[in-house]
A = this chain, B = another copy of it.
Amino acid sequence: MGEGATSRKRGRYAATDAKREGIVTAARSVFEREGLDGASLRAIAAEAGYTPAALYFHFDSKEALYAEVLGRSIATLQEAVNAAVASAGTPAERFSAAALAFFDFYAANPRDLDLGFYLFRGGMRPHGLGRERDRALNEALEATLAPIRGAALALGADAAQADLIMTDAFAHASGVLLLAHTRRIRMFGASARTLMERHVETELDRLLRR
């Protein structure tokens, strides 16, 4: 009962501290430098100037810390998407801008892609991240994709179609990014962005042709 907003465990009413932020930043650094595998709790603690155990005062688990980093990542992504949409004119341009900005962000930041795949996948068992944190990440993601749906609506799609189009763009970008990131896609002789552009154009064609 009563799921708290942030961390409290031993500390009875620890607020969102500057120290928390320091740890998240350290985690982000180690993660960017060493990748997911190298970003052990011990390495993160060392980077932040702590002992591993100290981190558990501020976070419930390694997953929870990662979730915090992923939250920041999605926020940055959302800014990038919104910026791209803001500088686009027509609904068709907004659609294309949003979808490609989403794609380009992860193409340019493979570490964020790793983290997203890892955490959205379920990460480490069994501690998981609670339902509330899970939902928060889902909502952040949906907010990020919202401009795609919005552009589809502006192009005449109904609500269900717009949902479908948004979901499909998300799925397609995920698949292409996954393949490209895995370096499996070179095998078939097409660039990742070409595939994404093709998807966007196809959806636009369909929408513009009524």
Contact = CB atoms under 8 A, between A and B. Distances in A.
A124 B142 CA distance: 31
Q: Kindly report how many copies of this chain are found in the complex they form together.
A: 2
Contacts of A168: 190, 195, 198-199
Interface stretch (A13-21, A42-50, A66-74, A169-177): A169-177
A194 interface: yes
A185 interface: yes
Contact of A178 (B37, B164, B174, B189): B174
A189 B142 CA distance: 12
A198 B164 contact: yes
Interface of A: 37, 117, 120-122, 124-125, 138, 141-142, 160, 163-164, 166-168, 170-176, 178-179, 182, 184-185, 187-190, 194-195, 198-199, 202, 206
